Amino acid sequence: MTFSAEKNQLLGPLPFWLDKWNQVDSILLPNNQFSERIPVEIGNCFLLSHISLGSILSTSEIHKDLCNAISLTEIELDHNFLTMNIDDTFPKCNNLTQFVLFHNQMGKPAADPKMHNFLPAECYELIEPPLLAERIPPTSEWKDDTQ
Q: Does residue 89 belong to any structural domain of this protein?
A: yes
Q: Does residue 65 belong to any structural domain of this protein?
A: yes
Residues 6 or more apart in contact with residue 76 via CB below 8 angstroms = 30, 51, 52, 53, 54, 98, 100
Per-residue pLDDT tens over the stretch 116-131: 444 444 444 444 444 4
Output the domain CATH number for residue 54: 3.80.10.10
User: Rounded to an integer, what distance in angstroms lies between the CA atom of residue 115 and that of residue 102?
Assistant: 17
- How many domains does one find in the chain? 1
Tell me the Cα Rg of the chain: 15
Report pTM: 0.64
| Cβ proximity of 43 and 16 under 8 Å | no
Per-residue pLDDT tens over the stretch 68-92: 677 888 888 887 777 666 666 666 6
Q: Does residue 147 belong to any structural domain of this protein?
A: no
The parent domain of residue 117 ranges over 2-141
